């Protein structure tokens, strides 16, 4: 039994058989030596022509224009596309032209991967091209590529417009859409820029456990599994915060990690159950220092990726030049709702939510209610980078109390284009206070809050050995990449976003 094949797929499989019968291996094992790529040729040929007299390149056939005894084609490698000129008498010297007629004209298809040797020249039309002197089939494509066309301005159009297809078959999306490949190159640039920024300051990149006995470091619903040998439940980490702070206790002055985290929550344009976080902790600093540090880092990232601090995001132009605006959470709520909630209790906050038309649940405490008000009425207003500071103590069980107001904590979130992309604290290093905060989280859990934080006894024990004053910051790499690549969906910046199970077609005999 097998999946029903299209006529094109049947034809390609027949060619595969013919090639094998002719003694041509459609999937050769030996190395094909490459000494140049498409981008290198286009960028450097005109000023250094002598270095392109004997080149070897490989790529996927994207276009073929047959002209009888010759043909023009276009291949694509990882750096871009370049034109080939293939002449029968040159790749098949002598009287026997069967190789050209058989392989090039009959057996090769769009999507096949070939290796060619030859020299670079410029056509009469002024296009830099490769004059092919020999070619080799390196991999036969059994599925046809989607049809692609390009207009006079260079814009590419294809029939892969369904996100279901693009995200599920990302490999095809990458083949036909240059801008998608560029997005993921920029993602790597973002991470490398941040890593270089941290390394230049002497901070240590580390790795911490993904499987954890307690899902700590954030308020979120975890994924749960079971370790058979130990016969214990384990959780996929929701954050790496508590392990990184253990390392600060251990004596490092600064540690950071680009970490995969997992949260068993909803999926939308800005949330995926598996995502990438950067978390960094620096001893003897506070959240004011971390605000300066974060805006300097993001200014560098924007400049490294775009050559400027100005980044186009939709219809907006975001300026990542430091310093960023700073607004307290209570100031933000008063500005956008008219309510001064600074001295309100839980009942009063529920009345405000009702007046503002914000749905709430019985399990929500004071902190969650304030967070709902801000999220519904304020967050979307902050387009340019803005620090929202000084959160209610109930929302931040790992954060040091504000030095001027014990009802608040020294925390900020960075808002850009109406979304939070970074979260940071003056870290709580008082083990007695930390234990009390964990116990408050247990009470919220008993009220039905399934995102409340677990009590981590080992982390409390670590704090009892003494942790220096520390500033910590986490930033969502996926959301930051969305900003830096002008994408509105997190699925566009993840190679393989989580999706519903694929609907399988009926199996038929072929």
Topology of domain 2-145 in CATH is OB fold (Dihydrolipoamide Acetyltransferase, E2P) (2.40.50)
Q: How far is CA 420 from CA 262, 425, 483, in A?
A: 18, 15, 11
* 216-257 residue pLDDT tens: 888 788 999 999 999 999 999 999 999 999 999 999 999 999
With a pLDDT cut of 90, the percent of the chain lying above it is 76
Residue 156 has pLDDT above 70, yes or no: no
Domains 2-145 and 193-324+384-493 share a fold: no
Question: How confident is the prediction for the chain on average, in pLDDT?
Answer: 91
Model confidence, pTM: 0.89
Residue ranges in 282-417 assigned as alpha helix (H) = 287-306, 329-337, 346-356, 366-377
Whether the Cβ atoms of residue 278 and residue 463 lie closer than 8 Å to each other:
no
Three-class DSSP category at 231: coil
Residue 153 has pLDDT above 80, yes or no: no
Contacts of 124 (CB under 8 A, 6+ apart): none
- Domain positions in the chain are 2-145, 193-324+384-493
At residue 1 the predicted structure's pLDDT band, cuts being 50, 70 and 90, is very low
Residue 507 has pLDDT above 60, yes or no: no
Backbone angles phi, psi at 417, to 5 degrees: 55, 35
Residue 509 has pLDDT above 70, yes or no: no
Domain 193-324+384-493 maps to which CATH number in 3.30.930.10, 3.90.1150.150, 3.90.45.10, 3.40.50.1860? 3.30.930.10
Whether the Cβ atoms of residue 222 and residue 236 lie closer than 8 Å to each other:
yes
The β-bridge partners of 310 are 319
pLDDT for the residue numbered 148: 61
Residue 503 has pLDDT above 50, yes or no: yes
* 292-315 residue pLDDT tens: 999 999 999 999 999 999 999 999
Backbone angles phi, psi at 7, to 5 degrees: -60, -40
Residue 323 has pLDDT above 80, yes or no: yes
444: tokens are 């919220």
At residue 4 the predicted structure's pLDDT band, cuts being 50, 70 and 90, is confident
* 354-385 residue pLDDT tens: 999 999 998 888 988 999 999 999 999 999 99
* 33 or 152, which is more confident: 33
What integer is the mean pLDDT of 99-112?
Answer: 82
* Cα separation, 201 vs 185, whole angstroms: 25
At residue 473 the predicted structure's pLDDT band, cuts being 50, 70 and 90, is very high
């Amino acid at each position: 039994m097998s999946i029903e094949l299209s006529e094109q797929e049947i034809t390609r499989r027949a060619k595969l058989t013919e090639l094998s019968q002719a003694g041509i291996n459609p999937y050769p094992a030996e190395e094909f030596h490459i000494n140049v790529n498409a981008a290198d040729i286009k960028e450097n040929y005109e000023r250094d022509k002598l270095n392109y007299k004997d080149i070897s390149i490989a790529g996927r056939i994207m276009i073929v224009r047959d002209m009888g005894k010759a043909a023009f084609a276009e291949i694509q490698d990882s750096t871009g596309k370049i034109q080939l000129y293939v002449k029968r008498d040159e790749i098949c010297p002598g009287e026997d032209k069967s190789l050209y007629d058989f392989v090039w004209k009959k057996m090769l298809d769009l999507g096949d991967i070939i290796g060619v040797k030859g020299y670079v020249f410029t056509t009469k039309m002024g296009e830099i091209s490769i004059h092919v002197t020999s070619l080799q089939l390196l991999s036969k494509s059994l599925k046809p590529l989607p049809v692609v066309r390009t207009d006079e301005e260079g814009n590419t159009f294809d029939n892969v417009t369904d996100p279901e297809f693009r995200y599920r078959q990302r490999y095809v999306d990458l083949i036909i859409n240059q801008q998608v490949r560029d997005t993921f190159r920029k993602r790597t640039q973002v991470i490398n820029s941040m890593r270089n920024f941290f390394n230049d300051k002497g901070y240590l990149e580390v790795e911490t456990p993904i499987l954890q006995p307690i899902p700590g470091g954030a308020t979120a619903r975890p994924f749960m599994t079971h370790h058979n040998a130990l016969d214990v439940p384990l959780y996929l980490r929701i954050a790496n915060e508590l392990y990184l702070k253990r390392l600060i206790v251990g004596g490092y002055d600064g540690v950071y990690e680009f970490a995969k985290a997992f949260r068993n929550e909803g999926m939308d344009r800005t949330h995926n159950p598996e995502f990438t976080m950067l978390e960094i902790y620096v001893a003897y600093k506070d959240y004011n220092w971390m605000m300066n540090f974060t805006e300097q880092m993001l200014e560098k990232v924007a400049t490294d990726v775009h050559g400027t601090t100005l980044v186009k995001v939709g219809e907006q132009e975001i300026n990542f030049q430091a310093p960023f605006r700073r607004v307290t959470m209570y100031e933000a709520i008063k500005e956008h709702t008219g309510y001064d909630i600074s001295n309100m209790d839980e009942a009063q906050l529920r009345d405000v939510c009702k007046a503002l038309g914000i749905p709430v649940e019985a399990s929500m405490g004071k902190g969650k209610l304030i967070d709902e008000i801000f999220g519904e009425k304020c967050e979307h207003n902050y387009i340019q980078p803005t620090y929202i500071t000084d959160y209610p103590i109930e929302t931040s069980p790992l954060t040091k109390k504000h030095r001027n107001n014990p009802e608040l904590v020294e925390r900020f979130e960075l808002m850009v284009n109406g979304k939070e992309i970074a979260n940071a604290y003056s870290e709580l290093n008082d083990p007695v206070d930390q234990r009390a905060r964990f116990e408050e989280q247990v009470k919220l859990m008993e009220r039905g809050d399934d995102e409340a934080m677990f009590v981590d006894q080992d982390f409390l024990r670590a704090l009892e050995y003494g942790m220096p004053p520390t500033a910590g910051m986490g930033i969502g790499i996926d959301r930051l990449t969305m900003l830096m690549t002008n994408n509105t969906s997190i699925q566009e910046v993840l190679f393989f976003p989580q999706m519903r199970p694929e609907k399988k077609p009926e199996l038929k005999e072929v």
